[in-house]
Amino acid sequence: ESPPPTAYRVVLLGASGVGKTAFASIFAGAADSMDSDECELCGDEVFEKEVEVDGEAATVTLIDTWDSEDCPMQSGDAYLLLYSITDRASFLRASELRITLRQFRPAEQTPIILVGNKCDLVRRREVSSSEGRACAAVFDCKFIETSTAMQHNVWEAFHGIVRQLRLRRDSK
């Protein structure tokens, strides 16, 4: 008999227009009638789903946040920090959010993946892969480039965050 799945809260952060909603709908499954709740205070959308990663089930609650100044940063077990490779301002915003996150939870080893989305838009690229990777190294987090339009690497990002959460769990 398998143990009950572990539940994790994963928060999507990033500037407006980087693809957070698109990320959340891939997670939710376009055709699914997913339970989605809206946080009345922030308008954040919340999705819950059981996913299987490396043969082990995990319940992931995904929180799609609004990037607004007056909304408190949602507390999560892990964060997907999104920017668009076609929008340098969103890359800078990701840096600011990383710093805010560090102030918010200084002592903990919170899993974070820096996600460069819209990698299908090669001609409009403003942030190179090596810049993204270097930034992730400074931030001490993982890095992945994705395209929700091509459904490229999106599940890899979700699975990656679950793997990191498990590593942290198992090292305790």
- Which residues make up the interface to ligand GDP (CB under 6 A)? 14, 16-22, 117-118, 120-121, 147-149
Beta strands 36-38 and 45-53: pairing type? Answer: antiparallel
List 91's β-bridge partners, or say none: none
The token pair at 156 is 């890899």
Residue with Cβ nearer ligand GDP (39 or 57) = 39
Provide the minimum distance between the beta carbon of 56 and ligand GDP in the complex, in angstroms, as a whole number. Answer: 28
**Within its chain, how far is the Cα of 3 from the centroid?**
26
Measured from the CB atom, is 146 or 164 closer to ligand GDP? Answer: 146
The least distance separating ligand GDP from the CB of residue 160, rounded to whole angstroms, comes to 17
C-alpha closest to that of 113 among 131, 75, 139: 139
Q: Smallest distance, Å, CB 86 to ligand GDP?
A: 8
Q: Which is nearer to ligand GDP, 77 or 87 (CB)?
A: 87
Provide, rounded to whole angstroms, the least separation between the CB of residue 4 and ligand GDP.
32
In degrees and rounded to multiples of 5, residue 143 shows phi and psi of -140, 140
Question: Which among 95, 74, 71, 65 is positioned nearest to 83, based on CA atoms?
Answer: 95
Nearer to ligand GDP, 24 or 58 (CB): 24
